[in-house]
Amino acid sequence: MINLYTPPTISNINDLVDGVKEANQKIYTISKMATLKNFSDKKEPINGDFITFLKFYLKELSSYKYNKNVQFIDNLDDKYKLNKEFIPIEIILMMDNIVSNSKKAKAKTIELKTIKKGNSIFINIQDDGKGLNPEADKTLIFEKGKSYTNGSGLGLYQVKNAIKKLGGNVEYKETEIGFCLEVMFICN
């Protein structure tokens, strides 16, 4: 008889425990945010400043133990306002997908930065990880089910849909180091 069971290693157990911790922390964050002013129900749409919400959630992400190996850099300028109707849980999931992808690419830093050009506000989200897989078709990375890693192919698809619901557009931006998403909103 062939034994197909392989005993778990300490590394496998630690990875499993870290995954459970991460899931618990997300649940805790959502419940914690549910008590905050202006963000009282995470599944219902709210009207608020999208950039302020990103700043808040970026601070939350940096406080999590499971993100201890990633430095979050907040260069989101307070002088820019993007008043939008959005569902906070969708933005949380969007950011979690981006952070998860960056961590898989061994990123040590993730920076969010605002840039104003004409009547548009851009939010660049860039990491210093391995970057886009050279085999990836840059025109298809936001398509549902398209993955060039061991992922589900839903992360960047969800990012695109969340930004589209806000009236914005997201594109992959070529960089020398890491991976960069450029989100654009036209201001009224």
Q: DSSP readout, the chain?
A: ------PPPHHHHHHHHHHHHHHHHHHHHHHHHTTSTT---TTS-EEEEHHHHHHHHHHHHHH-GGGTT-EEEEE--TT---EEEE-HHHHHHHHHHHHHHHHHTT-SEEEEEEEEETTEEEEEEEE-SS-S-TT--TTTTTSTT--SSSS-S-HHHHHHHHHHHTT-EEEEE--SSS-EEEEEEE--
Return the pLDDT at 127: 96
User: Which pLDDT band, with edges at 50, 70 and 90, does 5 fall under?
Assistant: low
**What is the C-alpha separation between 99 and 70, in angstroms, rounded?**
9
Average pLDDT, the chain: 83
pLDDT one-digit tens code per residue, 80-98: 999 999 888 889 889 988 9
Return the pLDDT at 93: 87
Q: Which residue has the higher pLDDT, 164 or 11?
A: 164
Q: Percent of the chain at pLDDT above 70?
A: 79
Structure tokens at 13: 């157990």
pTM value is 0.77
- Give domain 10-186's CATH superfamily: Histidine kinase-like ATPase, C-terminal domain (3.30.565.10)
- Looking at residue 36, its amino acid is L
Structure tokens at 40: 């009282």
Return the pLDDT at 155: 81
Contacts (Cβ under 8 Å, ≥6 apart) of 102: 70, 110, 127, 129, 179
pLDDT one-digit tens code per residue, 140-171: 888 887 776 666 777 888 899 999 999 999 99
pLDDT over threshold 70, residue 41: no
Residues 86 and 50 sit within 8 Å (Cβ to Cβ): yes
Return the pLDDT at 37: 42
pLDDT one-digit tens code per residue, 47-67: 889 999 999 888 888 887 778
- Looking at residue 119, its amino acid is N
User: Which pLDDT band, with edges at 50, 70 and 90, does 20 fall under?
Assistant: confident
Return the pLDDT at 72: 94
